[in-house]
Structure 1
Amino acid sequence: MHLVTPLATADAAARRWLLRTPATSYVVGLDAGDAPRCLHWGRALTAEQAAALVAPATAGASSFDSATAGDEELVTEAGARFETPSLQVAFPGGDRGIDWRFEGHDVEGGHLTLRFADRRHPFLVELHYRVYAGSDVIERWTVLRSALPVTVLRCDSAAWSVPILRDYRLSHVTGGWSAEHALRRTVPVVGETVLTGRRGVSGHHANPWLMLDGGDATETHGEVWSGALAWSGSWRITVTRGPAGRAGWTGGAGHEGLTFRLAPGAEWVTPTFAGLYSAHGYGGASRAWHHHVARHVLPEPDEPRPVVYNSWEAVGFEVNEANQLRLARLAAEVGAELFVVDDGWFGGRVGDRAGLGDWWPNRERFPGGLAPLIDEVHRLGMRFGLWVEPEMVNPDSDLYRAHPDWVHHTPGRPRTELRNQLVLDLARPEVADQVRKWLHELVGEHEIDFLKWDFNRALTEVGPDGRAWHDHVRAVYAILDQLRADHPGLRVEGCAGGGGRTDLGMMARTDQVWTSDNTDAHDRIAIQRGFSQVYPARVMAAWVTDSPNPLTGRVTPLSFRFHVAMAGALGLGGDLLAWSPEELAEAARLVAVYKDIRPVVQFGQQYRLDGGVQYSGGDRVVVLAWRGPVAFGGPRIPLRPAGLDPLGRYRDEDTGDLHHGAVLMASGLDLGLDGGDYASALVRLRKEG
C-alpha cells in the first residue's frame, strides 16, 4: 500500500466532495434538493475523474417507488423515501422527517464536515467524515443539534451504499456464549436484513460489522465493501437490497424502541461507523482493518502483548493466597509474564451469589491483603493483574444493602437477576463516580498492572428514557479513559462473559479482548477465524488450558492447544498444579517458541489459509497449521502459504530446508500431519537474499 496524503477536497461548483485514501476514493455530492448522496465508493479516482461522475436518476418507475436512488448518506422520512430510515425524529406537533437544506462545509486535512438544517424547524445535522494517512478506512459519524425539544426515534451513525452489482453476498458472524464469531456468508434478501444486539453489549450472538461483495469474492480476489461500528452497547445494522438492484446498509447505536428526548440547546453525537473498500478479497479487507485498528484505534498498539497466566480454570472460586503463590511460581517457570487472579478474591465472594460490589480483599483468603502475593509475583519477574466486574452487584453485598436504588430497575416490578447479579446504573453520575473512585484506589494502592474488566449478564430494566442505554456505555468509556489517564502503566483486557464486548469502541480503551470463554482448541479455530475478519491477532487473547477441556470434555495434545493459541495473544489457563513435569517442560519450550515468533504474529500481516494461518513480518514468515478429526482415506492436502515473494527463497529455521516462494505458493508445504486426530505444526521461515 503506497502512502498518499489523506485529503478531503471540495468542488464548490459541483457541490461534491472527494475523500482520498491510499487505495480508494469516496465521493459525496448534493442533489437538487440538497440531499447528500454517495456518488462513488471504491477504487481511487483523481479530482478530474470525481468531477465527471454522474449521479443516478432519482425518479421511481411508478408512484409506488421511492423517489431516491438508495444512495443517500443518511436516509430520513421526508417525502417519497421508502428505504430504511437512518434518522427518525418527531418535532413538536408530530411533524417527522428532515427536509435537507445545505448550510456549508468545513475541510481540515482528512476531516470533512457537511452541515445541514431542516427547512422548517431550527434543527441541525452534521455529517462527519475522517480519513487517515496510510489507512483505507473512512470513519463517519453524525451530530444533531436542536433549538426546540424533539423526540429522537432513531439516529444512525451513517448509511453506506455500494454500487449496483449483479448479485450480492453478505458476510457477518453469529453465535452465542462460548460459540462467538461463527462466520456466515449468505445472499441478502430483497428487502431488509437486520443484524442487531439488544443486550446492552456488542454481543456473543452477533457482532457490529459486516461485509458485502458481489458473490464472487475469495480470500485473495474480488471487491469487498465492509463496515464496523465502534460501539459497546446495543446496536442495529440494517442491510437493504432494493428491487432495482441497489444494496447498502445503515447502522448505529441502540435498537428499536430506544427513543429519547433531545432538549433545546443539547447535542447528540453518534459513535463512529467506519467503512472500508478493498479490491483484494476478504483477506485484503481483513489486513486493511487490522492495520487501521493497530494504527488508529488501539491505545498502545506497539507493545507486545505479554504471555498471561490466569488462575480461574485452575481453582475457580477456591482462590486463596497459598494456591495463588504456588501457581505463580509455576507460571513463572513456564515463562508467563503476567499473573492474573480471577474471580473470588474480594468481599464475600465464595461463589457467584455474593460479593460483587465489595471490592476489597477477602481477609480469610488473603490474611495480609493482596500485598504479599503482588510482591512475590513482581519478585518472580511477572506483572500482576486482577479480575474485576465494575458494573455489577450481587443483592447479597454491602454495596447493594446500602444503595438498592443504584441498579437498573423498573419501580414496582421485580428486578431481573441473571447469574445472581444486577447491573449498576452507570447512567447516574453518582454511581459512575463511585465506580471510578474504587477502581482508582484499587489500582493505585495495590500496584496493579493489569485489569480484566468483565461484564457477565445482559442489561434489563434500563428505564423509560432510551438514552440511558447509551449513557451507560458512555460512562464505561469515561471511566476507562480516566483510569488509564490516571495510571499510564495500567493495561486492560475487555471481557463480557467471553467475547460479548468485542468491538472497536472497547478496543479504543483496552489492550486486548477475551475472545471466548470456550478454550477448547478445536472450537477456537473457527472462533478465531471469525474474529480475524476485522480484528487483529495482537488483541485476541487465547489460552492454553487443560485436557480434557473443562467446557467440552475434548481431549487434545498439549502441542495442538499451544499451536492454536499461538495465533493470538498467548495465555495459559490450565491447572499447572496438576500438570506433569513433562507437560510443564513442554509448556516452557513452547512459550519460548511463542516469544520468538510473537513479533511476527502480533505485528505482521495475517493470511488465513486452508488448514491454518500465516503471519508475515519483515523477512520472517510463521505458519501455524492444524487439523481436527479426519476420516480414514481422506486426502492429505498441502498447506499453501500466501503473500510470499515468488522470486524469494525461504529457509526453514528449524529444519534448514530451503524453499522457493513460487513453489511454496503453488505446491504448498507437506507438514506430515498424519499423527492422528488433532495434529498440528509450526513452521518458521526466513527469507534469504
Structure 2
Amino acid sequence: MSIIVNEERRIFLLQTLHNSYAFGVDDQGLLRHLYWGNKIDAIDDFEMPVLAEVSTNDPVFEITREEFPVYGRLRYKEHCLKVTFADGCREVDYVYENYKIENHKDYDELIITLKDSHYDLYITLHYKVYGDFDLMERSVTLRNASQENMAIEQLQSAQFHIPYENLNFSNVHGHWGAEQQRFVQKVSYGKVVIENRRGISSHNHNPYFILDRDASETQGEVYFGALRRSGNFSGVVEQTPYGETLVQMGLNDHDFCYNLAPGEEFSAPAIICGYTNQGFETMSHHLHHFAQAFILDNDIRPVLYNSWEATGFGVTCEEQLKLAKKAKELGAELFVVDDGWFGERNGIKNGLGDWYVNKQKFPHGIDELIDEVKSLGMMFGIWVEPEMVNPPTKLYKEHPDWIYHFANRVSDTSREQYVLDMTREDVQQFVYQMLDDLLTSHDIDYIKWDANRPISQSNLDRSVWYKHIEAVYDIVKALKKKHPHVLFEACASGGGRIDYGILGIFDDFWTSDNTDACDRLTIQDSYSYIYPIKAMRAWVTDCPNFISNRDIPMRYRFHSAMMGTLGIGCNILKFSDEETKLAQEMIALYKEIRPIVQEGDFYRLENLSEDDYRSYEYLKDTKGLLFVFLSHTRIGHRPLTLKLRGLKKDTRYKLTYGDQEIHKSGAYLMERGIDLRLSGDYASELIFISEM
C-alpha cells in the first residue's frame, strides 16, 4: 500500500519504494507535518506532538509544522494561501473536513479536504504517490461554494518541512545567452527567494529547489521539487529559529490577484517532489525516469537542420531549397525554416502578427519548398512567435486594443514588438485559428514557438500572469489534439521556457541561443540535474561563435551537441568537402547512438584531474557511451582517471575509441577506472561501452 491511514489518530503515511512522508490532523483540526525521509513502515510509531508556545511572541501557529499554512491568526511566517472575502475579511481559518484515496493505474492519490470555519471556501490538497519512482506530486485546488466572489491574493502549491539547518540550496541564475548557470549557497538565517515576474518565464531562475546536506553525486541526503509551471513563480527557502528549513513554491504573488467566482475552482500548479539519501545522481534519475514515463512521448527525436544562422531574415525560397538539399546530403531528417518567411518580415521591426507567406520570398507559395523537402524524405518545420505583434502590421492597425496596455500610458515595445493580451478570447481564437490554418493548409511536422520579450502594461486584471500561460497551454493542447503528429519546440528568446509546466505540452526545449560548444557543456550540465536529456535541443553552429567569438573544432562541436537532441544550425552551403564528410559521419553516428542518449540513464562523472575535464556517461540496456571534453591543456598536464558508474560489477565490458579497445569488469571500471589523456585546445573523445 502506498497510502496508509490510521483512522483513529488521523495520521497519513505516504510510501514510495524507499521513502516515507507522514502528516496528520491534530485536536485543533490543523494539518501538521510529521516526517519526510527514508522509509518507515510502522504508521503506529508516528505521534502527534502536543502544541506548546515558547512565549507570547512565539505562538503555536508560528512553531507548529503546518502542512499548508494560511494567512491569519497568530501566523507571521510564510503562508501558502491568502484570500480576501466579499465582506472584506482577509483571514483564512481552516478546519479539517475529510479525506479520500483514489487508486489509478500509475499512481495512488490522497485527497485532503479543508474548509474555512465560516466561509464556504474549500481547500483540497492532492498527494499523488508514484511509488516506483520515489516521487510525489503535490497540488492544491480552491473551490468557492458561496454566492459571493473571493479574491485569491496568494496561492503556493506546497510547503515542505526539512528537519535540518545549514543546508545547501542550489538552483540556476543567468540571463540571455547565459542561462542555466548552476549556483550553490548555504542556507542560514534570513530567506532565500527565487522568482520570475516577467510573465514569459525567465532566463534568471528556474522553478525548482534542491536542498542537500553536503551531498555528492552518489552520496548524501537531497530534498527536491520541480514546479509544473511556466511564467511567474516564486520559491522561498527559510531556516527557522526552531531547528528546521522550510520551502514553499508556487504562483508568484507579485501583482497577482485571482477573482474566484461563485461555484468556480482554481488550482495551483503541481510540484513534483522527492527525497533521496544517495546524492544528486539518484535525484536526476528519478525525475528523468518520471518524465520519460509520464510526460514525454516514446518517439525518438529527429536530427534537425535550422536555417536561421545561414540566412537570418533574408529568407528566400531559392536559398532554402539549396539548404534543404545540402541538409539532406548531410543526413538531417527535419528541415526548419526560422524567422523571416511571413508578412513584411525583413528584420525585427515588422511582420509579427501578419502570418501570411511573403510572396516576394515565396512567389509560388511555401508549398514549393515543403514539397521539395518532403520529396527529399525530410520532415518540415517552421518558426512562429504567436504571442507577439509588431506596431506596423495590419493586425495591430486593425486591433490596437489586442495588446497589453493601460489606457493613459504609452505601451512599451521591446525588440520592436508588443505582447498580445492572451487572456482575451478573441486573441486566443486568432492565435489558434492562425496556427490551425497553417497546419491544415501545409504539410508541417514541427513548430518552433518563440517568445522574445516579457509582459508589461499587463492590464487591469491581475490574474493575467496566470491566464496568459494557461491560454498558451490550452492552444497547443488543442492544436496537438487536432494535429497529433506535429512536434512543438518551446523557445523563449533561448532557454526562457524550460520547466515541467510546458514540457509534455511542448515536446522539446530550445536550451539557449548560446550555441558555443564549450559554454553549452555548462548549460547542459546544469539542465541535466532536473530535466530529461531527450527534451534538450542542442545545435552545431558556425565558428567563430557569434556570442563567444571562439573558434572550436567541428568534432568538439558535434560531440557537445550530440549529448542532447542533435540539431545543425550552420551555413552548410559554405562547408568544405572535409567539413561535409565529417558532418555526415557524425550525424550518421548520432543516429546509431541516439536511443542511448535520448532514453538512457545520464551520469555526471567526477573529474579527478586538476585539468578542466568534463565527462558524461549514458547507459541503456547493454550499451553505453562516454563523452569526454578538455577545453585546453594546462601547465603540468595530468591524465584523467575516469571512474564509470551504473555498471554491473560482475559483467565484462568492452570500451572502444579510436583504435583502442579495453576489456574490463564493471567492478574495475567503477572502482579503479580508466586512464585517459586528451591534449590540445578543445579536445574531445566519444567512447563506446558494451557488455561482452
Q: TM-score, normalised by structure 2?
A: 0.95
| Cα shift at 1:98 | 2.0
In structure 2, what residue type is equivalent to 1:155? L
Deviates more, 1:99-108 or 1:220-229: 99-108
Residues 382-401 of structure 1 show CA distances to partners (whole Å, capped at 9, x for unaligned) of 10000111111101111111
User: Separation in 1 of the partners of 2:545 and 2:51?
Assistant: 58
Does 2:556 match 1:560? yes
Q: How does 1:16-415 map to 2 (within 5 A)?
A: 16-46=11-41, 49-68=42-61, 69=63, 71-109=65-103, 110-132=108-130, 134-146=132-144, 147=146, 148-162=148-162, 164-214=163-213, 216-298=214-296, 300=297, 302-415=298-411
Residues 424-468 of structure 1 show CA distances to partners (whole Å, capped at 9, x for unaligned) of 111011110111011011011111000001110001111222211
In structure 2, what residue type is equivalent to 1:75? P
Deviates more, 1:533-542 or 1:465-474: 465-474
Secondary structure of the residue aligned to 1:646 is coil
Does 2:466 match 1:506? no
Q: How does 1:270-669 map to 2 (within 5 A)?
A: 270-298=268-296, 300=297, 302-609=298-605, 610=607, 611-654=614-657, 655-669=660-674
User: Separation in 2 of the partners of 1:635 and 1:328?
Assistant: 45
Deviates more, 1:26-35 or 1:495-504: 26-35
Pair 1:361–1:66, CA change in 2 (3 A): farther
User: Separation in 2 of the partners of 1:607 and 1:97?
Assistant: 48
User: Separation in 2 of the partners of 1:345 and 1:660?
Assistant: 55
8 Å contact 1:423–1:459 — kept in the other structure? yes
8 Å contact 1:237–1:250 — kept in the other structure? yes
Residues 464-497 of structure 1 show CA distances to partners (whole Å, capped at 9, x for unaligned) of 2221111111110100000000001111111101
| Cα shift at 1:42 | 1.7
Aligned residues: 676
8 Å contact 2:15–2:131 — kept in the other structure? no
| Cα shift at 1:649 | 1.3
User: Separation in 1 of the partners of 2:9 and 2:29?
Assistant: 12
User: Separation in 1 of the partners of 2:158 and 2:164?
Assistant: 21
Secondary structure of the residue aligned to 2:477 is helix
User: Separation in 2 of the partners of 1:43 and 1:227?
Assistant: 17
User: Separation in 2 of the partners of 1:593 and 1:490?
Assistant: 26
Residues 142-163 of structure 1 show CA distances to partners (whole Å, capped at 9, x for unaligned) of 111221322211011111112x
Pair 1:397–1:43, CA change in 2 (3 A): same
User: Separation in 2 of the partners of 1:97 and 1:141?
Assistant: 21
Identity rate of aligned residues, in percent?
39
In structure 2, what residue type is equivalent to 1:661? G
Residues 173-204 of structure 1 show CA distances to partners (whole Å, capped at 9, x for unaligned) of 11111111111111123132111011113310
| Cα shift at 1:646 | 2.2
Pair 1:33–1:634, CA change in 2 (3 A): farther
User: Separation in 2 of the partners of 1:429 and 1:517?
Assistant: 32
| Cα shift at 1:254 | 2.8
8 Å contact 2:165–2:239 — kept in the other structure? no
Residues 341-365 of structure 1 show CA distances to partners (whole Å, capped at 9, x for unaligned) of 0000001001000000111111100
User: Separation in 1 of the partners of 2:384 and 2:674?
Assistant: 45
Q: CA RMSD in A?
A: 1.4
In structure 2, what residue type is equivalent to 1:666? E
Pair 1:57–1:416, CA change in 2 (3 A): farther
Which runs of 5 or more structure 2 residues have no equivalent in the other structure?
608-613
8 Å contact 2:177–2:514 — kept in the other structure? yes
User: Separation in 2 of the partners of 1:472 and 1:38?
Assistant: 34
8 Å contact 2:200–2:453 — kept in the other structure? no
User: Separation in 2 of the partners of 1:359 and 1:274?
Assistant: 37
User: Separation in 2 of the partners of 1:85 and 1:369?
Assistant: 56
Does 2:13 match 1:13? no
User: Separation in 1 of the partners of 2:473 and 2:590?
Assistant: 32
| Cα shift at 1:653 | 4.2
User: Separation in 2 of the partners of 1:671 and 1:31?
Assistant: 60
Which runs of 5 or more structure 1 residues have no equivalent in the other structure?
none
User: Separation in 1 of the partners of 2:320 and 2:663?
Assistant: 46
| Cα shift at 1:133 | 5.2
8 Å contact 1:254–1:470 — kept in the other structure? no
8 Å contact 2:153–2:253 — kept in the other structure? no
User: Separation in 1 of the partners of 2:51 and 2:571?
Assistant: 65
Secondary structure of the residue aligned to 1:291 is helix
User: Separation in 2 of the partners of 1:248 and 1:627?
Assistant: 40
In structure 1, what residue type is equivalent to 2:23? V
Secondary structure of the residue aligned to 1:505 is coil
Does 2:672 match 1:677? no
Residues 238-296 of structure 1 show CA distances to partners (whole Å, capped at 9, x for unaligned) of 11210122112111123423123222222111111221112210111011111111112
Secondary structure of the residue aligned to 1:74 is coil
User: Separation in 1 of the partners of 2:376 and 2:73?
Assistant: 69
User: Separation in 2 of the partners of 1:630 and 1:410?
Assistant: 57
8 Å contact 2:383–2:447 — kept in the other structure? yes
| Cα shift at 1:374 | 0.7
In structure 1, what residue type is equivalent to 2:283? A
Secondary structure of the residue aligned to 1:670 is strand
Among 663, 667, 686, the alignment partner of 2:690 is 686
